[in-house]
Amino acid sequence: MPAVSVLIPSYNHAHYLPLALQSVFEQTYTDYEIVVVDDGSTDGSVALLESYGERIRLFTQQNRGTYATLNRLIAESRGQYLAILNSDDLWLPQKLEKQVAMLEANPCMGLVHTYGYFIDDTGNRLLQNPLGYPWPRTTCLNPIEDLVRYNRIVPSSAMIRRECFEKLGGFREDLYGLGDWEMWLRIALHYEIGFIDEPLTLYRVHATNACHRHDKMRMDEIKVRSEAIHAREALFWQRANSPRAMRLALAHSYACLGTNYALFEDRRNARRAYLKSLQLYPLRFKSLLRLALTFLPIKMPL
């Protein structure tokens, strides 16, 4: 059995697939299999993938979405370590080698991710923050407060122990674009999280990135924050590095939840979330201001 299963969810990325696959073939670590599930592509991706023959294990299905496809990939794979590579992204050659070494040296670690760069459609590095935030990092082996605040792990940068999925279950298939964040939160409640501060992953920014579907992503954020974080706050308090750090993280999360409700003009739930934020951190003036705005007959600002 291979030590690593490279999991590639494929959907209408025929233009990028050869480069993504080549970045796997060029890895210095070679004890891997490549498992690809094509999720109903209509752009010739399947024929392209079939041309690789036995170099990959290819499965096809009718379109089911990102997280159903990832769950199929997990089910079809055989490795102890699972590395996700979205079919439009790239790896640098030492990525798998360094991640396997870190996981093997740290048996309590369930996931390790890497630093990286954003690239454009043609592969050129984007020097600014094209998605509005810098490449996400985690700063300690228990980054639970960081993950409560935001999604801090790029899927294509992650390598996960298979046992995490066996113990905790797979990705939530009802989510559109933030199912990875919900999964990382579950893992972080039970395992250490490693980070390799080297640019080993390249995330391609283009017009069809899921993050550009703003309403769907906001609905996902409401689900993750309300159902995966705030409905299970007791678990996060147990895992906290310090009461103050968790209090501030939860206050931030409630504020984000309130803003997402407000953007959907759900002012009642927005007020509840802002009040929760202020109960945890009364000096959070942004929450106080946004709470006041929910009482005015104006459209909520971003």
Q: Residue 132 has what pLDDT?
A: 83
How confident is the model over 243-275, as pLDDT tens digits? Answer: 999 999 999 999 999 999 999 999 999 999 999
Torsion, CA 220, CA 223, CA 226, CA 230, rounded to 10: -80
Helices (H) and strands (E) in the chain, counts: 12, 8
Q: Are 91 and 23 in contact (CB under 8 A)?
A: yes
Q: Which residue has the higher pLDDT, 286 or 216?
A: 216
Angle at 216 between CA 210 and CA 220, to 5 degrees: 100
**pLDDT tens profile 273-283:** 999 999 999 98
| Interval 232-251 mean pLDDT | 97
Q: Which residue has the tokens 């290819």?
A: 58
Averaged pLDDT, 151-166: 97
Q: The domain 215-293: what is its CATH number?
A: 1.25.40
Same fold, 4-208 and 215-293: no
In the chain, at which residue ranges do the beta strands (DSSP E only) sit?
4-10, 32-39, 57-61, 81-84, 90-91, 109-119, 159-161, 192-204
Report pLDDT digits (tens) over 48-99: 999 999 999 999 999 999 999 999 999 999 999 999 999 999 999 999 999 9
Q: pTM of the full predicted structure?
A: 0.94
Enumerate the domain spans of the chain: 4-208, 215-293
Residue with tokens 């951190």: 281
| DSSP states along 273-295 | HHHHHHHH-TT-HHHHHHHHHTT
**DSSP category for residue 136:** P
Percentage above 90 pLDDT, the chain: 87
Pick the CATH number of 4-208 from 3.10.20.30, 3.40.50.1820, 3.90.550.10, 3.40.640.10: 3.90.550.10
Q: Is the pLDDT of residue 298 over 80?
A: no
227 exposure class (CB count in 10 Å sphere: 0-12, 13-18, 19+): middle
* Alpha-carbon gap, residue 239 to 151, rounded angstroms: 17
Residues β-bridged to residue 90? 202
